[in-house]
Structure 1
Amino acid sequence: MSLFGEHLIIAPILVPLLIGILLVLLRGSATPLRRTISMLGVQLLLAVSLGLLLQVVNGELLVYQLGSWGAPYGIVLVADRLSAAMVTLTSVLALFAMMHAIQGSDRRGRQYHVLFQFLLMGLNGAFLTGDLFNLFVFFEILLIASYGMLLHGGGAARSKAGLHYVIVNLVGSSLFLFAVGTLYGVLGTLNMADLSLRVAALAPEHVGPVRAAALLLFLVFALKAALVPLHLWLPGAYSAAGPASVALFAIMTKVGAYSIIRVDSLIFGAEAGPLANLVQPWLLVLGLLTILVGTIGVLASRHLALLVAHLVVISSGSILTAFGLGSQAAISAGLYYSFQSALVTAALFMLTENVARTRGDFADQLRAGPMLPAANLLGGLFLVLALAVAGVPPLSGFIGKVLIIKASFDSPAMVWIMAIILSTSLLTLMALARAGSTLFFKTDTHAGAATLPNGAHLVPVAAVASISLLYVILASPIYRYTEAAASQLLNPAGYIEAVLESKTLVDGEAAPDGEPPGSGKH
C-alpha cells in the first residue's frame, strides 16, 4: 500500500480539522473567502472519503495506529465497509448542505463554517474510531459543534430548543463517562477489539458491573439515535434549526444507530458468553414503538419542519427494528434503509426552508396560504421525496421497507413488524399527501402574494432527490454492499485480528512485545 493509502484513513478527520482551524484564523475575512475555503474543504473530504471506500470495498480492513502505538495501548482508527460507507454518506450530505448554506443562511451567524467543519470532524471520527473513549471524545466534538449550529441565527424558538438539546445531551455524556469508566475499571481496556476478547472471558463476579455498563452505553446510544422514549429532544431541536444545519443533522441519529450495532456485534455479540446479544430483544420492541410514536407525531404536526423531524424518528425506529432482528439479512436491510433515509430527510429539510421563504408570513405552516408561483416545481420535488420517505414503490424507501419485512419472515415478531411497518407507511403517506395538498393547492385569497423561489436554492434539493432516484437504479449493487458490510459486522474475528495483530490479550495468555499477561490492564 502506498504512503498515501496508509494515511488515508485519518484524512476524513484531518481535513475538516485543518479547514476549521484555517477558518478560525480567517474569521475577520470576507464571507466569499470563507465560503470558498469551506466548500473546497468539503469537496476534498468527499474525494478522500470515496478513496477510503474504494480501499475497503473488497473487504480489506484498514487499521491506523496513531503515533505508532499499537492496540490496545494506543489510539487506533479502523475502516471497514460500514464505517467507510458512513463517512462517504456524511461527505455527500455535507456537500449539499454547504451548497444550501452558501446561498445566504450562513450569514446569520459568525462561525457557521467553523462549526460545520468541526461537526464533520466529530461525525467522521465517531465512525472510524476503534476505541470507546475516543468514541466519547468524538461524540463531544460533534455535539459541541451541533450546539452552535442549532443556535445559529438566534431567536426564541431556537434558544428554547437549544437549551433542551444541550441539557439532554449533557446528561447523556455524563452517563457515557460512567459507562466507560466502569468498563475500564473492570476490564482495564477501552479498545473495542480488546474488549471483545475480555468480555468473552469474563469472570462470573464481573458480569454484573459489565452488564450495567453495557446497558448504560445502550441508553446513551439510544438517546443519540432518538429511540423511544428518549426521542423527545429531536422534533423540537430539528424543526427549530436552520435548514443547512439540520440537513447535516440527518446523519447524527445514524451515529447512535451505528454505535449500537458496532458495539453490540463486536463486544456483546454471539461470543460474549453470558452477555451475548444483550440488547437485541430491547432493540426490536423499542424500534417498533419508535415507528408508532413517530407516525403519531407526523399525523399531529402543523408545521412541515416538525413533520419532517418526526420522519427522522420513524427512520430511526425502522433502522433499529432491523438491527433488533439480528440476522445478516436484517442488518443489511437496515443499512440500506439507513443510507436512503438520511438523504431523503436531508433534502426535505432543505425544501422546507424554500417553501417557508416563498410563503412569507405563512412560512411552513400546514394551512392555506398564498398561491405559489412555482407550485409545480416545489410540489414536484416534494412529491418525489414524500413518496420515497413514505415507502411508495418503486422508490428507495419502498425497497428498504420490503427488505426489512422480508428479513423478519423467520422472526416470531413477523406479524407485528409487518403490521406496524405497513400501517404506519400508509398513515405517513396520508399525512404527507395532506401536507402537500395544503401547501401547494389550497390558497387563501386574503393571504397576499408569495415570492418566486430562487432557483439556486433548489439545486441541492434537486440533486439529493436525483441521488434518491439513482439509489433505486443501483439498488442491487448497493444491497450487495450492505450484505457484505453486515457479514463483516457479524463475523468480528477479522476486525479483532486486524486491530490486535493476531496477539491474544486475555489474562493468562501471551501479551505483545514480551510483556507479562495482563500488563497494564488491571
Structure 2
Amino acid sequence: MTWLQTHLAVLPVLLPLFTAVALLVIGDGGSGASHGSGALSRSRLVSVGSVAIGLAVALLLATGAAEGDLRVYRVGEWPAPFGIVLVIDRLSALMLVLVQLVALPVLVYAGGGWDSQGRHFHALFQFQLMGLAGAFITGDLFNLFVFFEVLLIASYALMVHGHGRVRFRYGVPYVVLNLAASALFLIGVALIYAFTGTLNLADLALRIGQVPAPDAAVVQAGGMLLLVVFGFKAALVPLHLWLPGTYAAASAPVAALFALMTKVGVYAIVRVHGVVFGDNAGASAQMVESWLLPLALATCVLGALGALAAPTIARLVAWLNVASVGTILAAVGLLSPQGWSAAMYYMAHSTLIVAALFLLAELVGAQRGQAGGRLEPAGPVAQPALLGMMMLLAAASVAGLPPLPGFLGKLMILNAAFGSAAGPWVWSVVLSIGFLTLIGLARAGSILFWSVRVEDTATRAGASPRLIGATLSLLGAVIVLAVFAGPLKRYTDAAGLQLADREAYARAVFGSGAPASPVRPFGSGDK
C-alpha cells in the first residue's frame, strides 16, 4: 500500500486541522476587511481548496467502504482497545461525504461577504469540519467527546460571528446549555467505563452484555445520560427548544453548516444506543426502545407545528430541521437494519435540503427590503421566477412529494415500519407531518411571492451569481439523491446490515489481536 492509502482514513481530521493552522498564519486582514482584500482572498482560496480536497478524500473512502471493507486506522500503532482508533465503515463514509457536500457550497456562499464580517471565519469553519469528521469516524466514546468539544467550540465563535445583539442573546444560552450537556457526557462516560473498563466502541459492544444485572443498572444510567446528551445535540423533544432561535439568529452560511450538527447527535444515538446497547447487550439490550420512538414522533409533530407558526423564514426552516430530525430518529427508533437504512437516506436528503433552505431564506429576505425574512407582505423580489422555482423544489422535497428524495426517504421509513407494533403510529405521524409541512410552506410561499405591495420597489441584493450558484448546487445534490436512489438505497441497506454485524466490526478493530478480557465487577482487583 502507498503512503496515501495507509493514512487516508486520518486525512478527514488532519486536513482541516492543518488548513485551520495555515489560515491563522495567513490571516484574513482583520475584522471588517474589504470584500476583495488580498489576505481575505487568499484565505478563501486555501479554505475552498481544502474542502474540495476533503470531498475527494471522502469519496475515495466511500468507494472503498461500498465494497464492504472496514478501514481501521490505529493512531501510533497502539492496538485496540488501548489506543485511539479511527474506523471507516459505510455509515461513517456516508457522513464524511455529506459533510463535504454541504461545506463546499456553504463556504463558497460565505465568500460572498459573510466571511468579512468578523475575524478568522475560515479557520473556525475548518475547525468545525475537523470536529464533525472526527465525531463520525472515531472508534471510542472518549474521543467522541473530544471531537464534540472541538466542533462545539468552533460553533460558539461561528454563532456570534459578525456580532449583533440577537446573536449574543441566543449565543450565550447556547454555550451554557452545551457546557451542561458536556458535563453530563463525561458523567455518562465515567459510569460506563467504571463497570466495563473500556470506551472502545467495538470492545463495548462485546462487553456490555457481560455486565452482571446489579452493575448493569449503573451502566444503563450512563447510557441514558448519553441519550440525554445526544438528544440535546439532535434537538430531540423535550430538548429542542434551544434550536429554532439559535439557528435563525446565526448567519445563513453558519446556520446551513449547523444543519450537520444535529446529525452528529443522530449518528451518536445510532452508534451507541442502536449498536452498543443493541440486541446482544444482555440486561441492557434495547434499553431506549420505549423512549426513542415516542420522543422522535413527538419531535416530528412539534417541529411541523412550529413551522406553521413561524414568524420568519429562518425560524420556519429551523423548525423544519427539528421535524426532520424527528423523522430520522423515528426510523432509527425502529431498531432494525431496514429502519437504519431508511434513516441514512432520509438524513442525507434532510441535511442537504435544510442547508439549501437556510441559504435560500436569506436570498429571498435580502430582496424584500426592510421586511427581510419576516412573513408579512412586502415589496416584490427581484428574481421571482428563479427564487420561486427554487423554493417550490425545496418545499416539495421537504413535504415529501414524489418523485423527490423526501418522498422516497419517507416511503423507505414507512416500509421499514410496516408490520411492526409501532407501525400505525409511524405511518400516521409521518404522513400527517408531510401534510402540515406542505401547508406551512404554502403559507410562506404565498406571502413571499404573492402578497406583495406594488408600491415598494424590488432590490437586487442577494442576486449575486456566487450566492445563487451555491444554493443551486445544494438543490442539485438533492436531485442527484433522487436520480441515483436505487444505488444509494443498496448502499444504505448494506450499511444497515453492517451496523448490525458487531462481530465483524470487532474483528476489524482488533485485527490480529485478541479481543478484550472479560468484564470485572467495579472495584475488584487482581487476587
Query: Does TM, normalized by the shorter one, top 0.5?
Result: yes
Alignment-derived partner of residue 35 in structure 2: none
Alignment-derived partner of residue 222 in structure 1: 231
Check if 1:148 corresponds to 2:157: yes
1:348 positional shift? 0.5
Q: Distance in 1 between matches of 2:104 and 2:458?
A: 33
Q: Distance in 1 between matches of 2:62 and 2:458?
A: 48
* 65 and 521 in structure 1: CA distance in 2 versus 1, 3 angstrom threshold: farther
Alignment-derived partner of residue 497 in structure 1: 507
Check if 1:414 corresponds to 2:423: yes
Alignment-derived partner of residue 45 in structure 2: 36
* 72 and 520 in structure 1: CA distance in 2 versus 1, 3 angstrom threshold: farther
For the 8 Å contact 1:235–1:306, the answer to whether it is kept is yes
Q: Secondary structure at the match of 2:375?
A: coil
Check if 1:458 corresponds to 2:468: yes
Q: Distance in 2 between matches of 1:28 and 1:114?
A: 9
Q: What letter matches 2:230 in structure 1? A: F
Alignment-derived partner of residue 253 in structure 1: 262
1:44 positional shift? 1.0
Q: Secondary structure at the match of 2:333?
A: helix
Moved more, 310-319 or 434-443: 434-443
The superposition leaves residues 12-36 of structure 1 with CA deviations (integer Å, 9 ceiling, x where unpaired) of 0000000000111112551101111
After the TM superposition, which residues 390-405 of structure 1 pair with which residues of structure 2 at under 5 Å, given as runs?
Answer: 390-405=399-414
Check if 1:277 corresponds to 2:286: yes
Q: What letter matches 1:66 in structure 2? A: V
Normalising by structure 2, what TM-score?
0.95
1:469 positional shift? 1.2
Q: What letter matches 1:505 in structure 2? A: A
For the 8 Å contact 1:201–1:506, the answer to whether it is kept is no
Alignment-derived partner of residue 26 in structure 1: 26
The superposition leaves residues 327-353 of structure 1 with CA deviations (integer Å, 9 ceiling, x where unpaired) of 221111111100011000100001111
For the 8 Å contact 1:103–1:456, the answer to whether it is kept is yes
1:50 positional shift? 0.9
1:281 positional shift? 2.4
Q: Distance in 1 between matches of 2:84 and 2:475?
A: 39
Q: Distance in 2 between matches of 1:166 and 1:72?
A: 32
Check if 1:486 corresponds to 2:486: no
Q: Distance in 2 between matches of 1:50 and 1:401?
A: 26
Alignment-derived partner of residue 33 in structure 2: none
Check if 1:297 corresponds to 2:306: yes
1:185 positional shift? 2.0
- The number of residue pairs the alignment matches comes to 514
Q: Distance in 2 between matches of 1:349 and 1:28?
A: 25
Q: Distance in 2 between matches of 1:189 and 1:504?
A: 12
Q: Secondary structure at the match of 1:78?
A: strand
Alignment-derived partner of residue 17 in structure 1: 17
Moved more, 126-135 or 186-195: 186-195
Identity among equivalent positions (%) equals 45
Check if 1:84 corresponds to 2:93: yes
Q: CA RMSD in A?
A: 1.7
The superposition leaves residues 445-500 of structure 1 with CA deviations (integer Å, 9 ceiling, x where unpaired) of 44444335223210011111111112111111001100000000111111111112
Correspondent of 2:209 among 193, 200, 203: 200
1:318 positional shift? 0.3
Alignment-derived partner of residue 351 in structure 1: 360
Q: Distance in 1 between matches of 2:499 and 2:2?
A: 27
Moved more, 40-49 or 27-36: 27-36
The superposition leaves residues 28-71 of structure 1 with CA deviations (integer Å, 9 ceiling, x where unpaired) of 55110111111111111111111111121111001111011111
Q: Distance in 1 between matches of 2:336 and 2:22?
A: 45
Alignment-derived partner of residue 518 in structure 2: 507
Q: Secondary structure at the match of 1:63?
A: strand
Alignment-derived partner of residue 481 in structure 2: 471
Q: What letter matches 1:232 in structure 2? A: L
Q: Distance in 1 between matches of 2:475 and 2:286?
A: 37
1:508 positional shift? 8.0
Q: Secondary structure at the match of 1:222?
A: helix
1:183 positional shift? 1.6
For the 8 Å contact 1:189–1:521, the answer to whether it is kept is no
Alignment-derived partner of residue 213 in structure 1: 222
For the 8 Å contact 1:225–1:256, the answer to whether it is kept is yes
The superposition leaves residues 270-301 of structure 1 with CA deviations (integer Å, 9 ceiling, x where unpaired) of 11101011112211111100001001100000
1:520 positional shift? 11
Q: Distance in 2 between matches of 1:373 and 1:96?
A: 23
Moved more, 472-481 or 185-194: 185-194
Alignment-derived partner of residue 315 in structure 1: 324
After superposing on structure 2, the runs of 4+ consecutive aligned residues of structure 1 that deviate more than 4 Å are 518-522
* 193 and 521 in structure 1: CA distance in 2 versus 1, 3 angstrom threshold: farther
Q: What letter matches 1:79 in structure 2? A: I
Q: What letter matches 1:11 in structure 2? A: L
1:505 positional shift? 1.3
Q: Secondary structure at the match of 1:411?
A: coil
1:519 positional shift? 12
1:521 positional shift? 11
For the 8 Å contact 1:222–1:256, the answer to whether it is kept is yes
Check if 1:183 corresponds to 2:192: yes
Q: What letter matches 2:477 in structure 1? A: I
Q: Distance in 2 between matches of 1:276 and 1:328?
A: 16
Q: What letter matches 1:485 in structure 2? A: A
Normalising by structure 1, what TM-score?
0.96
Q: Distance in 2 between matches of 1:254 and 1:508?
A: 32
Check if 1:384 corresponds to 2:399: no
Unaligned runs of 5+ in 2: 30-38
For the 8 Å contact 2:195–2:211, the answer to whether it is kept is no
For the 8 Å contact 1:370–1:449, the answer to whether it is kept is yes
Q: Distance in 2 between matches of 1:14 and 1:37?
A: 15
Check if 1:74 corresponds to 2:83: yes
Q: Secondary structure at the match of 1:325?
A: coil
Q: Secondary structure at the match of 2:467?
A: helix
